[in-house]
Chains A and B, each alone.
Chain A
Amino acid sequence: MTALTLLKVERIKLFSTRSPWWCMGAAVFITVGFTALLAATIRPGDLGDLTPATTQFSYNFGFLIMMVMAILAITTEYRFGTIRATFLAVPNRVDALLAKTAVVALLAGLVGEAAGVGAWALSKAIRPEAPLALDNAQDYRVVVGVGLVYMVAAVVAVSIGLLIRHSAGAITALLIWVLVAENLLPAIPRVGDTIQKWLPFTVGNNFLYAGQQVGQDNDATPTNMPFGAWGSLLYFAVVALALLALAVGLAKRRDA
């Protein structure tokens, strides 16, 4: 079975149910809509703060929705037994699961691009006078690079889904990790700051925001991170792939 065949199979599976369409629509709509709201209501005096980086600060909305979609793409297969049908049709589980991960990650990447570029473009349309021109690599990275962060995050999400195999459990684990653990661990005295610099989603976020401050006293983007922008993305990707290798390896050994 060729890789192309397997990608086609997973594409048919994903798009022949309705929930991915809803997730994709919601991810783009909420992310872009929230930025548009901000751009439309910003006080004229603060207009100087409306930079390309600011248009992306709500990327977490769509990002979480797409991660939930990625989890559901795998856990619903376990829920409805279609994973067994999949393994009967494609006994090479590693190939089948990697194809699914690839399709889901690619889709998340495209949605991330649509949300990122859409949020920036709509802001520019609403506030043509704001400093929203893409002048340098940093500006391009924060607007166009969002898709890459979505993509890596989707790999993390598929891995969590594959490890836990239950929708509710996997989504809860993801939300606790992203929203609670990465925010609370830095509060531990003495070692908290060091821990924070190595938390995967914090590092992933650094890919977008390295070298620029968004808002005032933004603790979510610490300074003196261990890696630069691209190094941060690489680190995030390595963590995601390690998690994926663990999850796929386990799925290969476990009874389906």
Chain B
Amino acid sequence: MIEANGLTKRYGRTLAVNDLTFTVQAGRVTGFLGPNGAGKSTTMRMILGLDRPTAGGVRIDGKRYTDLKEPLRHVGALLDAKWVHPNRSARAHLRWLAVSNKLPDKRVDEVLGLVGLTDVANRRAGGYSLGMSQRLGIAGALLGDPGVMLFDEPVNGLDPEGILWIRQFMHRLADEGRTVFVSSHLLSEMALTAQDLVVIGRGRLIAQTSTRAFIDAASGSSVRVRGPELDRLREVMASGGLKADDTPATAEGPAALVVHGATTDAVGELAGRAGLVLHELAAQRGSLEQAFIQMTGGDVEYRTGDPALAPVAGAPSVAGAPVGVPGQPGEAPASQWTGTPAAARKADAR
């Protein structure tokens, strides 16, 4: 488990990381999501004791990294696959790491086998492809069989095969009960890799939640429904108090209705009671990209101002605590996400 508490890093007048508080649970893959320059790498370096926080602190299983004895046995990290001397062989690189934490030499061969580098272990690391370097970095992280693992942008620049390999690897690590914390600016990648998310923008915490809740809350819940009698369907929805919009036929499918603020259960029951035939009934999930842009609002460096991305109900609470929305006290939050981004920002400004 990783616990960050009020973590802050200031470079001159720039606040790279601003009062960040979050926890990363064991046995799950937790994504650390944010646009480039949001402070993800700085945060990871502070977790590992490489950078000194200006304020606040971070503990790994209750201890500061620098207080760990033989830290590679507790924490494995891959921050940059290029942190290897190009003229040193992979085996020599892993060997000095192993010796430093009193790990047996045979563990070096084990991890080389785990990442599939056994055949090239004696070649100089400078000649490795990016994918091979990444595997070597992972081998180094696995060396001490640690319970906590950190990866900074591990799929950057990898080919599809490498990405798939890393993704499956992370899941395996989490299934073994380890704490896996992986950063990325690739939202779609995180949707596939991470079960939980810690989202930051411009150094501030935007959200800590499950990946599912993040998308649900941000995109709102809508249901796509289609049948032979669209007009009657629309009337039935209206009589049930649900607002339905027409979507014309596109290349992706024939004309249908999109029902907002409803579940497939509710829509299906309404249609069933009216005795209507349905050809399609599906929950529409927004993409993580959409969710991210809505959640981060002003914290994203470059915005398009596209009205399609205008706020809908559901926006981030700050630092995990629900933010009350003025004027809507009775609304029960579906998740910890309540209010609009504007309200959230206002609340944050207080």
Contacts and interface: CB of A to CB of B under 8 A. Distances in A.
13 contacts: A5-B102, A9-B96, A9-B100, A17-B88, A18-B87, A19-B87, A80-B82, A87-B49, A88-B49, A89-B101, A91-B49, A255-B51, A256-B50
A16 B99 contact: no
Interface of A: 1, 5-6, 8-9, 12-13, 16-19, 76, 80-82, 84-92, 253, 255-256
Given A16-B95, A88-B48, 17 more contacts: A6-B100, A9-B99, A12-B92, A12-B95, A16-B88, A17-B85, A80-B84, A80-B85, A81-B83, A84-B80, A85-B140, A87-B49, A89-B72, A89-B97, A91-B68, A255-B51, A256-B45
Contacts of A92: 66
Interface string B52-76: 1000000000000111111110000
A253 B49 CA distance: 11
B79 interface: yes
A81 B82 contact: yes
A13 B98 CA distance: 12
Contacts of A16: 85, 88-89, 92-93, 95-96
Contacts of B85: 13, 16-17, 76, 80, 82
Interface size class of B (residues with CB under 8 A): 35 or more
Which are the 3 A-B pairs with shortest beta-carbon distances? A81-B83, A16-B92, A89-B100
Contacts of A6: 100
B228 interface: no
Nearest to A253: B52
Contacts of B84: 80-82, 85
B86 interface: yes
Contacts of B88: 13, 16-17
Contacts of A80: 82-86
Interface string B28-57: 000000000000000001001111100000
Contacts of B82: 80-81
A8 B101 CA distance: 11
A177 to B, nearest CB: 27
Contacts of B83: 80-82, 84-85
Contacts of A5: 99-100, 102
Contacts of B48: 88
A56 B92 CA distance: 37
B77 interface: yes
Given A81-B80, A89-B72, A255 B52 contact: yes
A95 to B, nearest CB: 11
Contact of A91 (B65, B89, B96, B102): B65
A254 to B, nearest CB: 8
A69 to B, nearest CB: 14
Contacts of A9: 96, 99-100
